Amino acid sequence: MGNLLKVLTCTDLEQEPNFFLDFENAQPTEAEREVWEQVDVVLKDAKDILDELQSYKGAGQEIREAIQNPSDEALQEQAWAAVVPLVGKLKKFYEFSQRLEAALHSLLGALTNEAYSDPTQHLEREQALAKQFAEILHFTLRFDELKMTNPAIQNDFSYYRRTLSRMRINNVPAEGENEVNNELANRISLFYADATPMLKALSDGTTKFVSENKNLPIENTTDCLSTMASVCKVMLETPEYRSRFNSEETVSFCLRVMVGVIILYDYVHPVGAFAKSSKIDMKGCIKVLKDQPPSSVEGLLNALRYTTKHLNDESTNKTIKSMLQ
């Protein structure tokens, strides 16, 4: 059963899961392979998506000049020529969110089925799938961090839609409309309007998974999420486990995954992650974050402060609220 280490906790939660989840080296068993290969195809593209988003500069200059000189046709054409390929990228990111959601469905199907009696066994015995689930969460938080700090994305897309509707009214053929028609533009616009679009896609996807699998108790899904959060927390606060990480990057990966899974739990669980009945030791998780160098976790603490659903509920413990202030 792996290297089990009992950790005494001062919480009133049930005994926390204690095993080393090998985020660095886990390889799929034969039983995991089919789902693992499906998800691997999607994850292989995740790094390119992040690289493209990180280097996304926008067409702010061209758009400004076109708006300030509405009768200058050359400037209008320049702005349109700058925006169309960028919209192609934004469409690609949006379509990737749908592929990611489908990958998440496959993973949840495998990690919540009745093959094992509890989520701890699932995560311990299906470590390669647990690692892929963690990689999806890691990607999601990173994507949303980059999107939040890049206002050009929504500005470019708004300009594209305004210009496209003006062209339609004037019966001007619009090169680029084949790229994104009106119905798709509406869906993409809604996607980017959210502060954390990729996280919303994942939480909607998880909620959809629960509603489509009525034969599975919702606890199978929420317990999988809370167990993942606990595993990350225990690995981070237990020197014996932490010393087994080969790279310091695994620490930041683990922290990001812990926060991602808390936020997902908060969206999917009926009363959220901060309620007394929550199966996540929120005080312990926040303490682990605060024990890291402040500059490395400020973004993650902000994600808990501003992108969760239930933090400001009346039922949230005052100590937890003050820890996040």
- What is the per-residue pLDDT across 152-162, written as a single tens digit (0 to 9) for each? 999 999 999 88
Task: Choose between 2 and 21: higher pLDDT.
Answer: 21
Amino acid identity at 41: V
Could you tell me if 191 and 52 lie in one domain? Answer: yes
Q: Which residues contact 110 (CB under 8 A, 6 or more apart)?
A: 32, 35, 126, 129
Could you tell me if 35 and 175 lie in one domain? Answer: yes
Residue at 181 is within a domain: yes
pLDDT of 122 above 70: yes
> Please, which pLDDT band fits residue 167 given cuts at 50, 70 and 90?
confident
pLDDT of 4 above 50: no
Could you tell me if 265 and 121 lie in one domain? Answer: no
> Please, which pLDDT band fits residue 1 given cuts at 50, 70 and 90?
very low
Residue at 313 is within a domain: yes
Could you tell me if 190 and 228 lie in one domain? Answer: no
Indicate the number of domains in the chain: 2
Residue at 210 is within a domain: no
Residue 43's domain spans which residues?
29-134+146-196
Fill in the DSSP letter of residue 307. Answer: S
d(CA 250, CA 228): 15
Phi, psi of 36 (to 5 degrees): -55, -45
pTM given for the model: 0.86
pLDDT in tens, 21-48: 777 888 888 888 999 999 999 999 999 9
pLDDT of 76 above 80: yes
> Please, which pLDDT band fits residue 179 given cuts at 50, 70 and 90?
low
pLDDT of 234 above 70: yes
Q: In the predicted model, what is the mean pLDDT of residues 293-310?
A: 87
Could you tell me if 187 and 222 lie in one domain? Answer: no
Could you tell me if 239 and 314 lie in one domain? Answer: yes
Could you tell me the maximum CA-CA distance found in the chain, to the nearest angstrom? 73
Could you tell me if 151 and 181 lie in one domain? Answer: yes
Distance of alpha carbon 70 from the chain centroid: 40
Residue at 292 is within a domain: yes
